[in-house]
Amino acid sequence: MPDLPAHTSPAFPPLHSLRPEHPHHLEADDYVLAGATASSSDATSTPPKARRPSQHPPPAIISPAFTPPATPGVSTPSDPRPRPPRSVPVLPSGTDSPRPELLEQLPIVDCEVRARIPTTTGHEMWLHVYRNNVDTKEHLAIVFGNQIRSRSLDREREGETELERMTRGAYVGRLYPGRTHSRVEAIKRAEGAMPKAQPQPQSQSPGSSASSDAGDAAAETSRTELPLVRIHSECYTGETVWSARCDCGEQLDEAARLMSSPHMSPSGGVIIYLRQEGRGIGLGEKLKAYNLQDLGNDTYEANIMLRHPADARSYGLATSMLVDLGLGGEEGIRLLTNNPDKVRAVEGPGREVVVRERVAMVPLAWKTGGEKGIKSEEVEKYLSTKIEKFKHMLTQQ
Ligand SMILES: Nc1nc2c(ncn2[C@@H]2O[C@H](COP(=O)(O)OP(=O)(O)OP(=O)(O)O)[C@@H](O)[C@H]2O)c(=O)[nH]1
């Protein structure tokens, strides 16, 4: 989705100035952004550095303790084609971080309904609403491409009419006025042949006979063709009300952009959207944490001061939803994340999902030398805390 309306669009006027009255606070006009010519395809560029013309050294936008490492040689300015994001293999032994505590059993999930959503960029995605046996929230799977299908959605339900099946989204291909059957074969049978105007059915899901025909080829399949997955946690502030305190809205946009590009993600992709707002503490508590951050604490400390874990999330639901979408098993997935805990946790207690590669999410401002992306003192502090305290890996290594 190259033209997704970014939550951080420069054209969007700020609601109010976030500039504090600290005398040494960064003045935007005092700085010239270095590296503004960096290629936007450079997935491991360093963030912009601030330079101040006056005699006083500038207060760093990024924590002085944090120097994002540069990975040379990844930009190809002469090649205008989009390149798949670089990814790094995830070894079975995993990362250096301790394995997070996992539920002994995966939650049971059920896809209640799905619908085709044409988007403002001209791409389409399939929005799936899931229910489960551990909470009452509607967790979501945003599916790009036609290869990925929900097993629980497609399951036969006793006494169900064809209209009911189509209404809950359990159909193959596309709906059109007058369609009477959820399955293409039934339409063929009823009409003697495939109707001329009938749009092409979706390709079969992984694990079906058609896809197993291609099973041998799968062994040779380049890892870039593994489905791309993002496990995204709800962030009302960053995704809906234009907050520049975090990079959540930008990450959601970027995941959708990569997954809707057949070049970047030829096997399609899924964003599992979990309703665990505020790293699991909820919106109200997150707002309290923001006030504590304005009082000088970082995002980690603020949660602790509120007597919450620094990160109160879990990922068992995501594992179950991925299995339901046919992405479990040895073939594996590529996971779009900087969070080492997520890589471990999403694999599940019995390694039901295998993360073959991790694809880093580098902030847009870093990739573009500050030309695009979120610019705020708050987000810089947030990102440096994620790296220093949550051990997020914002580069490919
Ligand atoms: N408690 C709290 N939650 C926050 C804050 N800022 C963002 N969040 C929440 O954090 C979640 C996103 O977490 P991130 O740490 O940005 O990213 P991640 O999901 O751990 O890792 P990535 O996969 O690399 O994006 C969302 O639920 C946001 O609502 C904050 O300051 N305090």
Quick one: which atom of ligand 1 is closest to the CA of 392?
Answer: 24
Residue 26, strand partner residues: none
What Cα–Cα distance (Å) separates residue 345 from each residue in 231, 317, 365? 11, 10, 29
Question: pLDDT tens, 270-328?
Answer: 999 999 999 999 999 999 999 999 999 999 999 999 999 999 999 999 999 999 999 99
Give yes or no: residues 164 and 290 share one domain.
no
Q: How far is the CA of 243 from the centre of ligand 1 (A)?
A: 12
Q: Classify 172 as helix, strand or coil.
A: coil
What domain count does the chain have?
2
Q: Rounded mean pLDDT of the chain?
A: 76
> What is the pLDDT at residue 69?
33
Look at residue 226 and tell me whether its pLDDT is greater than 50. yes
Give yes or no: residues 266 and 320 share one domain.
yes
Look at residue 389 and tell me whether its pLDDT is greater than 90. yes
* Boundary (domain end) residue, out of 134, 169, 201: 201
Whether 209 maps to a domain, the answer reads yes
Quick one: which atom of ligand 1 is closest to the CA of 394?
Answer: 24
The question of ipTM being above 0.90 is answered as: yes
Question: pLDDT tens, 62-110?
Answer: 333 333 333 322 233 334 445 556 677 765 544 444 455 666 789 999 9
Q: What sign results for the dihedral spanned by CA atoms 175, 180, 183, 187?
A: negative
User: What pTM does this model have?
Assistant: 0.74
* Rounded CA separation 396/367 (Å): 13
Nearest CA to ligand 1 atom 9: 278
Alpha-carbon 83 to chain mean position:
18
Higher-confidence position of 114 and 207: 114
Question: pLDDT tens, 261-286?
Answer: 888 889 899 999 999 999 999 999 99
> What is the pLDDT at residue 102?
63
Active-site residue set: 311, 313
Across 191-200, 228-237, 335-344, least confident range: 191-200
Q: Which residues constitute the domain of residue 177?
A: 155-201
Whether 240 maps to a domain, the answer reads yes
* Boundary (domain end) residue, out of 186, 201, 216: 201
Reported confidence tier of residue 360, pLDDT bands at 50, 70, 90? very high
Percent of the chain residues topping a pLDDT of 90: 59
Q: What is the CATH number of the domain that holds 84?
A: 3.40.50.10990
